[in-house]
Structure 1
Amino acid sequence: MQPATAKWYDRREAVFIEFCIEDSKDVQVKFDKTKLDFSCVGGTDNMKHHNEVELFESIDPNESKHKRTDRSVFCCLKKAEPGKSWPRLTKDKAKLNWLSVDFNNWKDWEDDSDEDLSSFDRFSEMMNNMGGEDDLPDVDGADDEESADSDDEKMPDLE
């Protein structure tokens, strides 16, 4: 048994963790006020994965949710104290080799007062739909598969 690779990011209302396990089965996510317990079987070798995280701050376990896709398990941890930033995911400052920051979705939200639709609201919409992957809402920084490659466009002239 080994920990699943994961990446996380912080928002005003919630903290998001994505466990990067393809073709996961037997997914179990337990939300506790100060702890997250994740386990599954997955990957090409059907290995058993288990992660236990002592969280930096408290969450609301009843409002926290998760969704499994073919590529990962996405967890939304609703903060007990919205508006309080988390400098790290874990209570301890120890570096975990399986955990990294999701810089594609990281946002310095403390200076940003008018987020149009919070990530937690989008995640709640996604959970309510509970459809296939086609129903997933756009996540900040996600590329649209049908758009032209960014290197196909002409770069503007430097001034």
Structure 2
Amino acid sequence: MSTDAVVPPPAIWAQRNDVIYLTLNVECPDPTFKFTPDTMYFKGIGLPEKKNHEVTINFYNKINPDKVISKNTSRCIEFVIAKADTKGPYWPKLTVDKNKPHWLKVDFNRWKDEGSDDETNEGDNAMSLEDMLRQANDSKLSFDDLDDDQEDSDDEAMPGLTEDKDENEDKK
């Protein structure tokens, strides 16, 4: 185990009206985390450097600690955290801290603006993190639709190269 100082894990977050998506970008096989209505506590040893990671997040508003879904992948730990007030407005930030923590960034891949058309259409059809991960594991990549007979533009001979070679041989 490393004797380095304890540091917060790099994290990204996004939100919807009813949930917060939080991803801790650390490979941690045996993490400890605990949720209260106001906070999240995380502690773990990150691989491969064996860095000590620890953080307490004081949420901007209340959450429902009983409705937290977590998924520890090989590269990160993902959380879907239910907001206590599911009908309330978007939070202006994740934490109550006056300054933005240096280790926390916005997850633009999951971000939706409050009141966007995509969010209002989700309703009951919105997938949970578990459903999304299950679907991703069930679908396999397929290259069957690629046509080998079709010629790509990069397969064509480059103009002028063969002529230049012949001209150079003639000059010798």
Q: Which TM-score bucket, shorter chain as reference? A: 0.7 to 0.9
1:125 aligns with: 131
Gaps of 5+ in 2: 1-5, 144-152, 154-172
Counterpart of 1:21 (choices 23, 26, 48) is 26
TM-score for the superposition, normalised by structure 1 = 0.74
Question: Partner residue of 1:76?
Answer: 80
Match of 1:140 in 2: none
Secondary structure, counterpart of 2:122 in structure 1: coil
Q: Structure 2: how far apart are the matches of 1:124 and 1:76? A: 9
C-alpha distance in structure 2 between counterparts of 1:33 and 1:93, whole Å: 20
Deviation per residue, 1:5-47 (Å, 9 max, x gap): 000001121001100012x122112110000111111121111
Gaps of 5+ in 1: 138-143, 148-153, 155-159
User: Using the alignment, how far apart are the partners of 2:142 and 2:43 within structure 1?
Assistant: 33
Distance, in Å, in 2 between the alignment partners of 1:67 and 1:4 is 16
* The one of 122, 132, 141 aligned to 1:115: 122
**What secondary structure does 1:21 align onto?**
coil
TM-score (norm 2): 0.69
Amino acid of the residue matched to residue 115 of structure 1? E
How many percent of aligned residue pairs carry the same amino acid?
Answer: 28
* Between structures 1 and 2, the one with greater helix share: 2
Deviation at residue 82 of structure 1 after TM alignment = 0.8
Of 3, 11, 29, the match for 1:6: 11
Cα RMSD between the aligned structures?
A: 2.8
1:157 paired residue number: none
Runs of 4+ aligned residues of structure 1 deviating over 4 Å after TM superposition are 144-147
